[in-house]
């Protein structure tokens, strides 16, 4: 038996992003980076993202992460926002949807927020 | 001559925050961390924060950073939001207001976004 797999949406974020403390941001860079921060600026969305990031297998089914006190359509809405911001990747396998953190996202965001000394020295 | 100095506002954020990939966030942790991301989720606010963080002396006068294409009252509004989120500290010295990144903010936010492996190993 073959299980059909399908990637849902596309990763919209380009990396790397410059460290905030290393140079002044251009308007275009600020626009792009603000979009990523905006995706994490909602407590429910942040908890969903954290559940995906913390899942032991590196990816989580939508069933695994939806117990955050909101309805299933609201979970889907938030996952869509995370996907559009390029923070997670979703894949349908058979009847289940699995999510994982997009490759490189966490190191790139951590690098944006690294103290200046780490980049100058 | 003595120059009057006055701290404006207070740092509202408590550190440390847990890494997103190390464990699932509680609702309270998510609320607190989402507030910080929200403060950086606006392009103009992010540029102002970047200008403070990148300033060679470690702090910037409001004059130094206000050339981001918005009015001075809008700059003041954004600086207030950054201050309320605990991301910057403002100090009035004589007739000038100076801003700097709140101590520990950038490493704490970078730690939140560190890949899981950095915390487990």
More confident residue, B24 or A16: B24
Residues from chain B contacting residue A31 (CB–CB below 8 Å) = 43
Distance between CA A83 and CA A33 in Å, rounded?
Answer: 15
pLDDT mean over A5-14:
63
**Domain B23-118: which CATH number of 1.20.1330.10, 1.10.150.130, 1.10.10.10, 3.10.450.40:** 1.10.10.10
pLDDT for residue B54: 86
Nearest to A11 by CA among A73, A93, A112, A99: A99
- Cβ distance B54 to A22 less than 8 Å, yes or no, reads yes
Q: Which residues of B touch A20 (CB under 8 A)?
A: 46, 49-50, 53-54, 106
CA-closest candidate to residue A32, choices A18, A22, A44, A42: A18
Cα–Cα distance measured from residue B52 to residue A20, given in angstroms and rounded to the nearest whole number: 9
Residue A14: pLDDT band (50, 70, 90) is low
Ranges of each domain in chain A: 23-118
- ipTM of this complex: 0.78
Residue with tokens 């980049």: A119
CA-CA distance, B22 to A101, in Å (whole number)?
13
Q: How far apart are CA A48 and CA A43, in angstroms?
A: 9
Give the contacts of A77 (CB within 8 A, at least 6 positions apart).
none
In whole angstroms, give the CA distance from residue B114 to residue B108.
Answer: 10
Residues of A in Cβ contact (< 8 Å) with B109: 113
Backbone angles phi, psi at B3, to 5 degrees: -95, 125
Hey, are the CB atoms on A30 and B50 less than 8 Å from each other? yes
Residue of B15, B29, B42, B50 to mutate for A, most A C-beta atoms under 10 A? B50
Residue B44 with chain A: CB contacts under 8 Å: 30
What is the pLDDT tens value at each position of chain B, 121 positions in all? Answer: 566 677 777 554 555 567 777 777 888 888 888 888 999 999 999 999 988 988 888 889 888 887 888 898 999 999 999 999 889 999 999 888 899 999 888 887 877 777 655 443 3
Model pLDDT for residues A26-81, shown as the tens digit of each residue? 888 888 888 889 999 999 999 999 889 888 888 898 888 878 888 889 999 999 99
| Interface touch B43/A23, C-beta < 8 Å | no
Q: What average pLDDT does the structure give for chain A?
A: 81
pLDDT at A119: 42
Quote helix, strand, coil % in chain B, to nearest 5: 45, 15, 40
Write down the pLDDT at residue B10: 58
């Amino acid at each position: 038996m073959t299980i059909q797999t399908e990637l849902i949406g596309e990763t919209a974020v380009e990396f790397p992003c410059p460290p905030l403390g290393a140079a002044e941001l251009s308007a275009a860079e600020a626009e792009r980076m603000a979009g990523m921060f905006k995706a994490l600026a909602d407590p429910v969305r942040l908890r969903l993202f954290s559940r995906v990031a913390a899942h032991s297998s590196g990816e989580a089914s939508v069933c695994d992460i939806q117990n955050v006190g909101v309805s299933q359509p609201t979970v889907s809405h938030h996952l869509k926002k995370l996907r559009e911001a390029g923070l997670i990747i979703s894949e349908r396998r058979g009847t289940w949807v699995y999510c994982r953190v997009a490759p490189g996202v966490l190191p790139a965001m951590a690098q944006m927020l690294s103290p200046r000394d780490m980049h100058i020295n």
